[in-house]
Structure 1
């Protein structure tokens, strides 16, 4: 099955392409002619994932999947969560987002957090039935008091996954792809696709 990954995020595309390898031909939004800003208005991670995948499927009639991801911090009642990319407001700015997170956690002893990714796959079967499936991946860890590492993107330099002494910003992409939230959700997606 040829698939479109419904994202405009080059970092996510790189991560997912590396994880998929040559198992499934992957098309980008540009390759299917989609220059639209994908909607993300549901207020939840699973909802936004579904909304983006369904938008591309409905408008471009291609099998596709989309993800939505958020950093959920215990001491902040799950924030930034679904608003992770725009935590510090418009326009999207990773440095301002990280600075606001550190400010909001200043003096807070509980630094527990988790990254959560939800992938939604939408495709049409040979008989014409439209199928939707969701796959979730979670990785727990700790938010540091200062960023470490130049790799990854977003909050990666602040997030140390459980069982590691390096942040997602310090781990090589190959190692991060074995344990990350996105990798775990992707595992479920790939396992499902292999059975289709």
Structure 2
């Protein structure tokens, strides 16, 4: 079974294919089918994931999967949230991190709680009325300065609960075991087992 991923991110393609290999599912980027990015006009991670999945399915005629992820800081009323990748006016990782630090300047540790969230949506076809939804979260708090050189985005600012390490201080193998996306992918894989399961023979 082939599924189109509503993304062209090489890392995501590899991660999805590794986890879904046991189900004989191959994930291909939307660029293989000349599918442009969808207009992410939803008000939540779930809405945006579904919008992207439906868009990719409609343009390609294939089953599609999409993810929407980001970092949420309750003290900032959920920001950066669905705007995580474009939090700052210049929409660059370094600028996003600097703006987050600025907006939390002087805020006590107890109010710097945060979580990474990843929401996946799978549709069999564009108008699928019962999309599969999977969610993963990892909790922690926002540091006052960056720590670690691994990872990307907000990873250097996110201190993981119970580990005393930032996300950027984890080795890739460990990160892929505990991250929000890893949890969402494992959840989706369990649901997809029923989608690709072969019918029981009467013979």
* Fold in common (TM above 0.5): yes
Query: Alpha-carbon deviation of 1:14?
Result: 4.2
Q: Name the SS for the 1:7 alignment partner.
A: coil
Higher helix share: 2
Query: Alpha-carbon deviation of 1:16?
Result: 3.4
Q: Name the SS for the 1:53 alignment partner.
A: helix
Q: Could you tell me which runs of 5 or more consecutive residues in structure 2 were left unpaired when the two chains were aligned.
A: 196-203
Tell me the TM-score normalised to structure 2 length.
Answer: 0.86
Select between 165-174 and 61-70 the one with higher mean Cα deviation. 165-174
Aligned equivalents of 1:40, 1:98: Cα separation in 2:
22
Please say if residues 2 and 28 of structure 2, whose CA atoms lie closer than 8 Å, have aligned partners that are also in contact: yes
> What is residue 198 of structure 2 aligned with on the other side?
none
Q: Is 1:121 matched with 2:122? A: yes
Please say if residues 5 and 56 of structure 2, whose CA atoms lie closer than 8 Å, have aligned partners that are also in contact: no
Query: Alpha-carbon deviation of 1:43?
Result: 2.2
Aligned equivalents of 2:19, 2:144: Cα separation in 1:
30
Q: Could you tell me which runs of 5 or more consecutive residues in structure 1 were left unpaired when the two chains were aligned.
A: none
- Mapping of 1:49-68 within 5 angstroms? 49-68=49-68
Moved over 4 A (4+): 128-131
Aligned length: 191
Please say if residues 75 and 108 of structure 1, whose CA atoms lie closer than 8 Å, have aligned partners that are also in contact: no
> What is residue 103 of structure 2 aligned with on the other side?
104
Aligned equivalents of 1:12, 1:179: Cα separation in 2:
16
Please say if residues 15 and 173 of structure 1, whose CA atoms lie closer than 8 Å, have aligned partners that are also in contact: no
Q: Is 1:159 matched with 2:170? A: no
- Any idea what the Cα deviations from partners look like across 1:79-115, whole Å, max 9, x if unmatched? 111111111024x200000000001111101211011
Aligned equivalents of 1:192, 1:66: Cα separation in 2:
15
- In structure 2, do the counterparts of structure 1 residues 68 and 129 end up closer, same or farther at CA, with 3 Å as the change threshold? closer
Tell me the TM-score normalised to structure 1 length.
Answer: 0.89
Aligned equivalents of 2:73, 2:169: Cα separation in 1:
20
> What is residue 31 of structure 1 aligned with on the other side?
32
Q: Name the SS for the 1:169 alignment partner.
A: helix
Query: Alpha-carbon deviation of 1:18?
Result: 4.3
Query: Alpha-carbon deviation of 1:74?
Result: 2.1
Aligned equivalents of 1:119, 1:43: Cα separation in 2:
15
> What is residue 76 of structure 1 aligned with on the other side?
76
Q: Which structure has the larger Rg over C-alpha atoms? A: 2
Query: Alpha-carbon deviation of 1:19?
Result: 3.9
Aligned equivalents of 2:60, 2:129: Cα separation in 1:
14
